[in-house]
Amino acid sequence: SSLVGQFRISGMTCAACVNSVEGILTKLPGVKRAVVALATSLGEVEYDPLVTSKEDIVNAIEDAGFDASFLQ
Ligand code: 9UX
């Protein structure tokens, strides 16, 4: 089964940033789906909690040079 989480992301300034973040997350093991919106600075990710975690996802985003934190 999978979980869906929303996160806030800062540091994105153009559409290429969106593609970069979505690409990084989609390639991360355990991530099934990732979408990021430039206008709202919000993202959503569907992931398998047996394979990856919110911490892993945040770390991957931060490795790419952005700041992220999950909502809730
Ligand atoms: Mo756009 Mo994002 O020129 O890191 S790719 S700013």
Per-residue model confidence as pLDDT tens for the chain (72 residues):
999 999 999 999 999 999 999 999 999 999 999 999 999 999 999 999 999 999 999 999 999 999 999 998
Nearest atom of ligand 1 to the alpha carbon of 64: 4
**Cα-based distances in Å from 14 to 18, 20, 46:** 7, 10, 23
Q: Please tell me the distance from the alpha carbon of residue 50 to that of residue 10, in angstroms, as a whole number.
A: 27
Residues whose beta carbon lies within 6 Å of some atom of ligand 1: 13-14, 16-17, 20
Position 72 scores a pLDDT of 82
Structural domain including 28 reads 3-70
Which residue, by CA, sits nearest to atom 2 of ligand 1? 17
> Tell me, what's the ipTM?
0.86
Which residue, by CA, sits nearest to atom 4 of ligand 1? 17
**Residue 56 token pair:** 């892993």
20 and 13 in contact (C-beta within 8 Å)? no
Of 55, 54, 62, 53, which is closest to residue 24 (Cα–Cα)? 62
4 and 57 in contact (C-beta within 8 Å)? no
Q: What is the CATH number of the domain that holds 40?
A: 3.30.70.100
- The structural domain count of the chain equals 1
